[in-house]
Amino acid sequence: MVECQSTRFPSPPPPCARSGWNRIFRSGKMPVELWLRGEPWDTAIHNTFMYGDMKGVYAVLKDPAMVNALMETAHEEMVWTPEMGLWTLTSRVKQTSALRLAAGRGHAACVEELLFRGAEVNAEPGGCTALHDACAGGHSVCVQLLLSHGADPELLAADGSAPLHLCSSAESLHCAQLLLEAGADVNVRMRESRLTPLHVAARRGLEEHVELFLSRGADVSATNQEGETPLNAACSGAERPSEAGAFLRVVQKLLGAGADPRTAGRKQHTPLHNACANCCPRIVEVLLKHGAKADTANSAGYTPLDCLLQVVEDYPNQQPEAIARSLLNHGAAPVPPKMLKQCLVSPATLEVLLNSYTSVPPCEWMDSLPVELHEEHRPFFDLVRRCSGQPRSLQHLCRCALRLHLGAGFHSGIERLDIPRSVKEYLLLCDGGTLH
């Protein structure tokens, strides 16, 4: 842990003020709250603290009033104007301070100098404190400096977020630890969204943050304004296949801490719905093993299997067939035949779904199959065409009867049977690219 000295030696004499700044240090005492705007030298002062230029800092701080001076920055943003029906470029003015600028960019020496000279540590120019900015940037040395000078670790910003909510990057782990050690509430809520720090960390896939918050008593069952838990947030955040491993570990930690995979939000959307919509086969399997219901419909009437079929075209290489198989083996009902055309780009998924029927339904969609796709998977699609409307094998019908009899308990029931692995795999729809 980095330790900051609470005492200071007198700072060295400041260098001479730069020519552009001489106009600021005119005779007469400046007000405590100085507004710097509309003049060429404002940018120079702003950049002095933003880039941590200590020589410039000493020059600016020759006037004590500059320690807590307020600055305005203009940002050009594209804003939609309905009355005009177009996007327009609009300047947005934001307030800030020297302490916020330095803390937000990790300039610890500059932050220490400002605090030593009496900067108001809990000032909120623009709706945030310097502590919020330091946490958002993951600058733990600045966080410790600010806390040691009395920064409030639970102060909510104008947008309703506490500093702990802004520890949302891998680099901010130490910042979160410092805040908790300073007495921050691990279950603090955002003012409107009701999000907890655990929601934020789970949504970002921050495994170490999740572990830290759980070890400090974070409520794994806390719900936000939409009624969603951190587990739902994690399953919702797993959008990029490259990050699937991190989100899987977060999901496992949450489940291990007692998270209920059946808890749905206000729209009855469960973690399983989100995992299927993001095509995460390993997360889906873990949720199902912990009791998630494969046949639950959300408020729009969609089951997890429906959510999967809606995204198969987006994730054809992310093993959507493994998810379809897991759902069907845990009690999901076969989809209506008209939905089969949604998974044409994934013949492996189509095979799993067709083998959940007692008979291959008419496949009119075969006539509109893209030529390139048909040529790439000609043996399989030709097999589907031949089997369409034809009786299935007795072996397959026996499999269907057993699956129907065991229902939602099929997967666990089959795993307990003392039968060869090859037979278990057949019963679990592992058919290897064929129809029976």
User: CA-CA distance, 57 to 156, in Å (whole number)?
Assistant: 29
The answer to whether residue 19 scores a pLDDT higher than 50 is no
From first CA to last CA, the distance across the chain in angstroms is 63
Please list the alpha-helical segments (H only) found in 150-260.
173-181, 197-204, 207-215, 230-237, 244-256
At residue 298, the pLDDT reads: 95
Q: How far is CA 218 from CA 49, 178, 180, 209, in A?
A: 36, 16, 11, 11
The answer to whether residue 358 scores a pLDDT higher than 50 is yes
**Res. 42 pLDDT band, cuts 50 70 90:** low
User: CA-CA distance, 251 to 282, in Å (whole number)?
Assistant: 10
**Res. 82 pLDDT band, cuts 50 70 90:** confident
Query: pTM (2 decimals)?
Result: 0.84
Q: What is the pLDDT of residues 368-391, one digit of tens each?
A: 788 888 888 888 888 888 888 888
Q: What is the pLDDT of residues 181-222, one digit of tens each?
A: 999 999 999 999 999 999 999 999 999 999 999 999 999 999
1-80+87-185 domain in CATH 1.10.287.110? Answer: no
* pLDDT average, residue stretch 67-83: 77
**Res. 34 pLDDT band, cuts 50 70 90:** very low
At residue 368, the pLDDT reads: 77
Beta-carbon contacts of 83 under 8 Å, excluding residues fewer than 6 positions away, are none
User: CA-CA distance, 401 to 398, in Å (whole number)?
Assistant: 5
Sketch the domain layout of the chain as residue ranges: 1-80+87-185
Average pLDDT, the chain: 87
